[in-house]
Structure 1
């Protein structure tokens, strides 16, 4: 497992800087596609689609799911995508006491690091449930918060045509779109989505690349 994790990190290190050098979001039209709740059963199919299109994305992983599918988590990193923390049990954080919030975040940090060798620098709160207290605790855990500029509500739509229409409606320069790699209809719609976004001139990049290489600051919310 250690060998696989080290290999994943090595491959990721060769992929991410290359993207940063070739894509300057200050000069070209960039868009960050983000996927929550995985890794799931349909994540490998999505990774193949992204790889074929030469697109990079950001995956916010659930700790429990990482423990179930560590190989897929390693594959996400090895293909040059960015990884973030999405809590251990996908719990709504705002009702929880401080200690439990920190446990949700730190346990996931450990699960991701054990699976991939990477300790994430960013997290996304499940359901978007966050407040100043959650953000402060995330800062204690060494995490920046990453939200979105638009959500497809794909978990509710569960229809390829409607999901594609939602992505195209929400797409804008320097946008961050929320989807789920655990929704089969989203994964099925992705080839057509990527094709149309590229036709519209978008460069599909990770959140760190979208931020133009700025270092994510713990306890700060983006975008």
Structure 2
């Protein structure tokens, strides 16, 4: 996919192999890893959580683990720094991490040096907490322009937005969040949520079970967009008017 950003763009609101057999002397039956999900063959959806890790992240991770569901967390560096235990656990349990700035400023109103500082500080905080660096960027508020795209390219990251939002930050109501999430769910969807919203975390067991009962595999963003062949600085999904 070639880069689509050629003029100012402002967008609002808008992560089967088998283990080798155990040595002959071991009595344990060899175990297998779960088969990789092919999102071109099955229904996949990516739940994404911004602004965290929030203080309810542990409960959310418990739910995801219980139902063998994966998610992508777009972290703020300031919270990755203050709650490193959650960041480490996210990685250990197979979730994907993205960069959502350090302190959530509007990148389209920031100087290039300030944007780089926000991104780098978050990269550093996540790496210190979990030993990895995010490979995806989601600008605060979903706002980007050509400068943001160029800087994302410098960091080797595509810009990931969302196909729909749960509107959890607005409703803060368990039933409303569940209803909206299921309403906007579609194969290949990327859903915006927030793990600092307690009602979102409370709704997650029901949301996950409902999506799985509808045949969805809950996977990371990278699995959903694998077929898009995104390059650093690309934006996905493209806003109206930017499609090929």
Using the size of structure 1 for normalisation, the TM-score is: 0.89
Q: Which residue of 2 aligns with 1:81?
A: 95
Please give the secondary structure, in 1, of the residue aligned with 2:207: helix
CA distance in 2, matches of 1:204, 1:65: 25
Q: How does 1:202-221 map to 2 (within 5 A)?
A: 202-212=216-226, 216-221=230-235
Q: How much has 1:119 moved relative to structure 2?
A: 1.1
Q: How much has 1:142 moved relative to structure 2?
A: 2.2
Q: Which residue of 2 aligns with 1:57?
A: 71
In 2 relative to 1, CA 154–76 (structure 1 residues): closer, same or farther, beyond 3 Å?
same
CA distance in 2, matches of 1:85, 1:217: 16
Tell me, yes or no, if structure 1 residue 155 matches structure 2 residue 138. no
Q: Which residue of 1 aligns with 2:207?
A: 193
User: Structure 2: 5+ residue runs without aligned partners?
Assistant: 1-14, 18-32, 238-244
Tell me, yes or no, if structure 1 residue 144 matches structure 2 residue 158. yes
Normalized per residue, which structure has more helix?
1
Q: CA RMSD in A?
A: 1.6
1:45-95 deviation line (CA, Å, top 9, x unaligned): 000000001100000000000110111100011110000000000111100
CA distance in 2, matches of 1:121, 1:213: 16
CA distance in 2, matches of 1:133, 1:26: 33
Tell me, yes or no, if structure 1 residue 113 matches structure 2 residue 127. yes
Using the size of structure 2 for normalisation, the TM-score is: 0.81
CA distance in 2, matches of 1:75, 1:214: 28
Q: How much has 1:31 moved relative to structure 2?
A: 0.4
Q: Which residue of 2 aligns with 1:92?
A: 106
1:152-183 deviation line (CA, Å, top 9, x unaligned): 12111100000000100110010000000110
Q: Which structure is larger by alpha-carbon Rg, 1 or 2? A: 2
Q: How much has 1:43 moved relative to structure 2?
A: 0.3
Q: Which residue of 2 aligns with 1:166?
A: 180
Please give the secondary structure, in 2, of the residue aligned with 1:94: helix
Count of residues paired in the alignment: 207
Please give the secondary structure, in 2, of the residue aligned with 1:34: strand
User: Structure 1: 5+ residue runs without aligned partners?
Assistant: 1-11
CA distance in 2, matches of 1:169, 1:147: 18
Tell me, yes or no, if structure 1 residue 23 matches structure 2 residue 37. yes
Please give the secondary structure, in 2, of the residue aligned with 1:37: strand
Contact 1:122 1:216 in 2 (8 A): no
